[in-house]
Structure 1
């Protein structure tokens, strides 16, 4: 069952409670949902999933439900800062996003969690593992490298955000009508259905009460320079826990040549590629993707 933050405020999760190895500062209270309940008798840690740039936690509901059903672990899906229903902030640095995850874990009194992320969410969970390795039971990185950045990522997302910023909103338009209209406006730049669905999920009634983008588009555009490379501040740190990188075979986001550099930070890292898939490997071949994820979670 889905449990919202308001319900969880009174839950007792003391089994996972302990102080973090990092200081939680400049963090925001992420919007999230929990699938399942925290089993205080279970040794299996919860799974926290972080989405990619311009997505929301809705993009990962199917994956979260499958993990919950097959592993019986509780699963937490979040909206990253400046995305979805989470607060807006002036920084989008990966270190800040990792602190948001720690803040959430502290709120839920989770001592250790398995972390999974895709795209910028992948780099967020990698940063979290490097910043507080004792708090991370296992790491699943979906089609993103800490060593190099795909030219497609650097070129495509700024163009997409620029096109999104050109959208003119009609105040009286309903959400579903707005989504239909915006889909026509953006179809020249968004070629795949997975990305289009994620972008349209950003359309809703905003904090000001009008129809618009839920994501903080202006900050994301300004802060993109910090998203286009892995933080130099974490150079020399490592996470020695179980780590799996899952890449799309035809994607450029996780080059096999990056493995030596990856293992400098994540010594136990293994890379698995899903045949004939691109960057959205979890959506393009969900069966093969989930087989890898479930096997990893069952053994770590």
Structure 2
């Protein structure tokens, strides 16, 4: 896309930093910069296309990191919404990013990234000008979403048993093997995106810390924060109507932490950006352009 400059950072082995792509338009407008976070087992590469569109449409920088324990970012021995927020905070203070983000930014997160974005807003209210959560809520996900979390758990168990030290020579072979536990093509594409060819064995290997992420699943369902903590900036919940992750909104639980919230529905499953990128972009564009950011600092 013309008029967009892309910079990429990938940390060296042993370096405790997040990998990221940074899309910056040559002409900057008045909208605040964005941070776009992927979901569980996702990575920044899946958000590149939509990040370019948002940077172009809104004339603002868009930062898309690989969250902790994902993509090219470093691995921890633990995984939680708080740790992801802490690592994002460190990234945004780096000299490469801080000059354009020091005045505040809007956070957009899908699924796991939505929980992390909401917690980050609660922890850093004077830095976050607004937050959009894509198919996630600021409380424990409803029980209807438990089977979806179980799909991740099933993959982690299967990966430990059958996909560690594998001899698969291609992603197609990995995909065929995963059909034993997962029939949904979109979900398998997400799972397969976590495999890469080993420089040593030349086989396809899972790059994420499977056991660490499996242990984190229960914690990722909730937003662990004191009931007295509030964020007064705007929160947008984008609810996917064909997904169980949000369902009927518990307005009391949302307003407990986010009194200034709104809801926008989109007719997709959980993989909102993949299923309806134009619809997602329209929702974000209109929401941002209709906000009066910056008047809520605490």
Conserved? CA contact 1:98–1:125, under 8 Å: yes
Distance 1:202 1:262 in 2: 33
Q: Do the aligned partners of 1:161 and 1:217 also contact (CA within 8 Å) in 2?
A: yes
Alpha-carbon displacement from aligned partner over 1:89-142 (angstroms, at most 9, x marks no partner) = 012111111011111110121221110101111100000000011110111100
Whether contact under 8 Å (2:125, 2:231) holds in the other structure is yes
Aligned-residue offset at 1:67:
0.5
Shift of 1:168: 4.8
**2:164 paired with 1:160:** no
CA contact (8 A) 2:164 2:206 kept: no
* Contiguous gaps of at least 5 residues in structure 1: 7-26
Residue range with higher mean Cα deviation, 97-106 or 282-291: 282-291
Structure 2: segments with no counterpart, 5+ residues? 292-298
Residue among 66, 87, 99 paired with 2:74? 87
SS at match of 1:256: coil
Paired position in structure 1 for 2:295: none
Residue 257 of structure 1 aligns to a residue in which SS? coil
Work out the CA distance in 1 between the residues paired with 2:180 and 2:195: 18
- Equivalent in the alignment of 1:229: 222
Describe the shift of the 1:88–1:271 C-alpha distance in structure 2 as closer, same or farther (beyond 3 A).
same
Q: Distance in 1 between matches of 2:199 and 2:219?
A: 26
1:192 and 2:184 matched: yes
Superposed counterparts of 1:116-131, under 5 Å: 116-131=108-123
Cα 1:207–1:136 shift into 2, 3 Å: farther
What is the aligned length?
273
Whole-angstrom distance in 1 between the partners of 2:247 and 2:71 = 30
Q: Give matches, 1:208-247, under 5 Å.
A: 211-231=204-224, 233-247=225-239
CA contact (8 A) 2:36 2:64 kept: yes
- TM-score, length-scaled by structure 1: 0.84
- Match for 1:293 among 272, 281, 284? 284
Q: Does 1:254 align with 2:242?
A: no
User: What secondary structure, in the 3-state scheme, does the structure 2 residue paired with 1:134 have?
Assistant: coil
SS in 2 for 1:4: strand
Q: In 2, Cα distance between the equivalents of 1:132 and 1:84?
A: 25
Aligned CA RMSD, in angstroms, stands at: 2.2
| Secondary structure at the counterpart of residue 93 of structure 2 | helix
C-alpha separation between the residues in 2 aligned to 1:170 and 1:247? 38
**Corresponding position: 1:60 with 2:47:** yes
Task: Please say if residues 34 and 107 of structure 2, whose CA atoms lie closer than 8 Å, have aligned partners that are also in contact.
Answer: yes
Q: Summarize the Cα distance change of 1:189–1:89 in structure 2 as closer, same or farther, 3 Å threshold.
A: same
> Conserved in 2, the CA contact under 8 Å of 1:50 and 1:78?
yes
Query: Does structure 2 conserve the Cα–Cα contact (< 8 Å) formed by 1:206 and 1:214?
Result: no
Q: Which 10-residue stretch deviates more, 244-253 or 214-223?
A: 214-223
